[in-house]
Amino acid sequence: MSEIILMSDPRVAAVPVRECGERLIDVREATDLLVDSRQLPDSGPSFTLLREGVVRRLVRAEALLPHGLRLLFVEGYRAPALQRRYFEEYAGQLRDLWPSRTAAEIHAAAARYVSPPDIAPHSAGAAVDLTLADADGRELDLGTRLDADPEESEGACYTEAANIGVEARVRREILGTALTGAGLVNYPTEWWHWSYGDRYWALSSGAESALYGPSDEDARGSRGPSDAVSG
């Protein structure tokens, strides 16, 4: 397994953000992507928002999938307050699990699974959690449930984990090939988490700066019929 750079790595926070001002758009209105509603109770309707550039790349990625497979969108935009809550809750679970660890160690461990709030790609509208479905929209098995943490899955949530079946591994490779081909990057502790335009993307791809910083939902633009996104 290649080196894993965590979101808490100082190199991620050091990437400058040159906000391009691109609006948030709703994938349900702009695309034909399959959308799962499991995040609705926590995030409200804003979970289907993403930056335009990310949406365009998802449409392109789906077109790169083999016949009979589709992307299943689970979560995009996440309000900064919700991101902070997720991070603090998980850090609290780890403190209970490892009471002898320092605050810095807990912060780094929590960042394997939840991005620190100040650099979170979801809060920039730059990240998407997604998986694969068959032609009838049925979610496929990629080795763990989406959002499985490292403790519960014994590390099988890591994209290159060895402790998953052959079929799940092949599906992860298919998903990764399509998304990478469309310009997104993966957070390697979460096979389902992909992003474009954020600090982690910039560091991973060698870009000089991030395109998107934390965004308020109010940045969402209105859309008309002519605004549909194509590949």
pLDDT of residue 81: 80
pLDDT of residue 135: 96
pLDDT of residue 104: 87
pLDDT of residue 108: 82
Tokens describing residue 60: 């392109």
* Measured distance CA(188)–CA(200) in Å, rounded: 11
* Measured distance CA(128)–CA(77) in Å, rounded: 8
Instruction: Say if CB 174 and CB 65 are below 8 A apart.
Output: yes
Of 13, 79, 16, 11, the residue nearest 44 (C-alpha): 79
Helix, strand, coil tally for the chain in percent (to 5): 40, 15, 45
pLDDT of residue 92: 87
What's 50-119 look like in SS3?
Answer: EEHHHHHHHHHHHHHCCCCEEEEEEECCCCHHHHHHHHHHHHHHHHHHCCCCCHHHHHHHHCCCCCCCCC
CA-CA-CA-CA torsion sign (184, 165, 154, 35): positive
Enter the pTM of the model.
0.85
Residues 6+ apart with CB under 8 A from 24: 49, 50, 51, 77, 125, 215, 217, 219, 220, 221
Of 192, 198, 197, the residue nearest 179 (C-alpha): 192
* Measured distance CA(214)–CA(80) in Å, rounded: 8
The DSSP result for 193-228, as a single string, is: EEESSSHHHHHHHT-SSBS-----GGGBPP--GGG-
Instruction: Say if CB 142 and CB 74 are below 8 A apart.
Output: no
pLDDT of residue 223: 35
Low-confidence ranges of the chain (pLDDT < 50): 219, 221-228, 230-231
